[in-house]
Chains A and B, each alone.
Chain A
Amino acid sequence: MELLEHDLSGAPESTLAALTLGEQDERAGRRSLRAQIDKLERELADAFVTAYPMGGLDEPPAQSCRTPRLLDLGELERVRDELAARVQSARATISQRADEEAASRLRLEKMLLDPGRYRFVRISNREIGEPGCGVWYVRPRLGLIGMLMGWWEVKLSSGCPLATAARPVTGAAACGQSYSRR
């Protein structure tokens, strides 16, 4: 870049042509990097939307620069690399959470088949990748009697608490369906 500032009036034509070619290459490089940034931004946006119901992606590191400017090749490469790293990290997070959800779903199925082996275990809808605030949990039927007799059941709580503080609901009526199995 420094060469461009020199007086080239006396330079041979081949040098000028080489410089112009270099400039063209750099411009093509910048164009290619911008296309890559475009593609990566789209992928990151898709990953962001996919990860949202799973609890979202980690906060990106705070960037200090907030003023728009024309970036050179090196700066565009840095932006591209950071974005690629974030896409990769987002995919890893999604994959890890998908595995955790699959494991929770499997556990829930086992819980439903044999509640007695999963006493007092709780699995929330969020853990199995479902919307809502419901929680599946294993509890004894009829309280102490069920505990002594080995009568265990899986219950699904009915959902999200109210945003405003409401009077605590008493009794089993607060709960939803019951999936019992002795």
Chain B
Amino acid sequence: MSSSSGPVEPRLREEFPGLRLQWTALDARARPSPREVARRVRDLSDRYRGAGVVAMRTQPIPHAYRTFFRQVGVDPDAARIPSEEAAVKRLLQGRFESRDAVADALLIALVETGVPVWALDAALTDADTLGIRTSVAGDRLGGYEGGGVPLPAGQLVVADGVAVHATLFGEPAPGHGPGPRTRRIVLFAVGVDGVPAIHVEEALWTAVDVLEAS
């Protein structure tokens, strides 16, 4: 698997030298996971215990994301970082449930590495220009040709040359993630200061590995 770095707006790169977006594209469909992957998802549930989840925020990678959240004006106790969100969901639901091949691959990558990975429909994404920037007046979340939700200027977003696909650390806009007709996807992971580049690569690699086995 080879991955590429997406562009980060120079002003953001100056302020957050560790902020990066890494992406890769592959053929994949949002179909039910094979039995082995579904079992792997269920097995991940056993990794969590209450005390472990409490102590999670003291570990380097969750700490890095929590700090970044605060530095960009988001309280991680109100809007949890992805790895903590998954852990809390697991504690509340009792276990992880398999959804589909893509969602399971993203969950496995997140739990294994602590680095969040998202998927976009490759047919709607110009992957070569996929990066992180601040929104400007007139930007619309998930908008093609005037559609989508208007975005206030100054928000951190994941966008390509065509559209804004998501706010940073948010889920992709409706219709931008993999759907029933998706045949190829773009996976992207976001790293911040304090998250080694190898972890970001590993997160993507893990997701690709699971998808290729599906």
Contacts and interface: CB of A to CB of B under 8 A. Distances in A.
Interface stretch (B69-77, B86-94, B112-120): B69-77
A62 interface: yes
B63 to A, nearest CB: 6
Contacts of B54: 48-49, 52
Contact of B55 (A30, A49, A63, A68): A49
Interface in A65-80: 65-71, 75-76, 79
B11 A70 contact: yes
B157 to A, nearest CB: 9
B71 A71 contact: yes
Instruction: State the main secondary structure of chain A at its contact with B.
Output: helix
A62 B73 contact: no
Interface string B48-82: 00010011011000010011011111110111000
Given A48-B54, A60-B77, A70 B67 contact: no
B155 interface: yes
Nearest to B50: A52
A132 to B, nearest CB: 14
Bin the interface of chain A by size: 20 to 34
A69 B63 contact: no
A79 B14 CA distance: 20
A76 B16 CA distance: 14
Contacts of B71: 34, 37-38, 71, 76, 79
Given A41-B66, A46-B58, A67 B74 contact: yes
Interface residues of B, number: 31
A83 B76 CA distance: 12
B155 A69 contact: yes
A37 B73 contact: no
Contacts of B58: 42, 45-46, 49
B116 to A, nearest CB: 13
Interface centre among B14, B73, B77, B78 (most CB of A within 10 A): B73
A27 interface: yes
A68 B70 contact: no
A1 to B, nearest CB: 13
Contacts of B154: 69-70
Contact of A67 (B63, B67, B70, B155): B155
Interface string A27-59: 100110010011001100110110010000000
A25 B94 CA distance: 50
B66 A71 contact: no
A20 B189 CA distance: 35
11 contacts: A27-B15, A37-B71, A45-B58, A49-B57, A52-B51, A65-B73, A67-B152, A68-B156, A70-B15, A70-B72, A71-B72
B169 interface: yes
Given A41-B67, A45-B57, A45-B66, A66 B72 contact: no
Contacts of B44: none
